[in-house]
Amino acid sequence: MLPDTSDGVSEHDRQGAPKPPSPIMLLVAFGGLSAALAAGYGVLFTIAADYRDEYGISENWIGIIIGIGFIAGFLSQITIAPFADRGHAKKLVLGGVFVNVLGLVLMAFGTSLVPILVGRFISGIGIGAAAPAIKRIVVLADPANLGQNMGRLLAADVFGFAMGPAISAVLVGPFGIPSPFLVVAAVTLMLLPMVARVDVVEATEPPARRFAIDLLASRPFAGAVTLGAVTFIMIGSFDALWDVVHKDLGTTDWIANLGITLFGLPLIFLGPIGGRLAQTWGPFKLGSIGLFFAAGLMIIYGFLPAGGLIFAVAMVHAISDGLTISSAGVAVSMVVPADRQAGAHGVIGAAQAISAGVMASVTGAIYGSFGQAAAYTVAGVVMIVLTMVGVWLARSAWNLNDASNRA
């Protein structure tokens, strides 16, 4: 649907406006910013056990700290993100990034539960405003290659997330818990002037509806959103459990701290390939296969007795995710009109945020009460059931691919 619809920009404005920068330039600028946003979360991900050991915060509250950021992202993406389709995409990117930095600074200086929770909530609001606007800008800059470009954005996100644990491993020991948050905040601010100088094509004819919830009336879109939510059920559970499970198993520090960085490498290199494969072969086919496989691996994690074994399975998991994890986002871009891209990505982002937030809290609580096997098994079973629901919803678009979309 995307290539045949208006992007909300009039022909007069196209002729009178300066030529927009190349898609590659946009990917460099906004991909770098996307990586910086993800790095802040990567830092939090590996500091969870330090919160428990240094500040006395329980596993249940660690899960809530991680989850509340996703809940904030849900609220932001539902209510704020659609304004990117109304001529404010660049403003949302810059404003959202600045709000995220404020949240990082608060988390850096918080030494108890409440300021850390508030900082995480503020950070989630900022990321939720900026991320769908970034996707809109990049997708509409080069619709013919949206799959590959979505995969490149994924690679940037994963690179930033993977750098977070590395930054923490280097800085926390000599400089304390605040240091990685402050470094990421400083680097993010340094990127803002470059992004501010990039011209983007903004919508001048906004969609009739301010919010994008009505898009869920389309079953293929609802199916894509469901599959995207399953992906973040996996991510929320994985994130909430990784650090505490490895600490409790006595895993060596390099695996506990840098294992997630190594996990990210296949996703960085395979993300663009997976995005292109989703566009050409079919995002619903590829995405559902990847999620069923990942659900099986999540269950296996629950019964592994050593951190080294978890790490080995995680490397297989990373290769699968690299080839399939961008499929839901590609599906959204392919089934939604161009002038509603930000709102649509806000809806799937909101579903992903709330799914990750709820599952991070739930699996953290299950782990604290019932242990490793129960937490991972619940996550895997939920993934299987909801993937089946997503496939059923998207059945009319099961064979959707780039060739059928153009036709």
Contact 72, 190 (CB under 8 A): no
Q: Which domains does the chain have, with CATH numbers?
A: 2-406 (1.20.1250.20)
Contact 298, 379 (CB under 8 A): yes
pLDDT at 54 over 90: no
pLDDT value for 179: 93
> Who's near 266: CB < 8 A, 6+ residues apart?
315, 318, 319, 321, 322
For 353-394, write each residue's pLDDT tens digit: 888 878 988 998 899 899 999 999 999 999 999 999 999 999
At residue 241, the 3 state secondary structure works out as helix
User: Residue 200 region, left (φ>0) first, then alpha (ψ -120 to 50), else beta?
Assistant: beta
For 176-226, write each residue's pLDDT tens digit: 889 999 999 999 999 888 888 777 766 666 665 666 788 899 999 999 999
pLDDT value for 206: 61
Q: Running DSSP on this structure, what letter comes out for residue 398? A: T
The residue-averaged pLDDT of 239-247 equals: 84
* CA distance between the termini of the chain: 9
The predicted model scores a pTM of 0.80
Q: Amino acid identity, residue 96?
A: G
Of 345, 357, 232, the closest CA to residue 287 belongs to 232
pLDDT value for 392: 97
- How much of the chain is in helix, strand and coil states, percent to nearest 5? 85, 0, 15
Of 211, 208, 217, 236, the closest CA to residue 365 belongs to 236
Of 387, 367, 380, the closest CA to residue 64 belongs to 367
Q: How far apart are CA 254 and CA 307, in angstroms?
A: 11
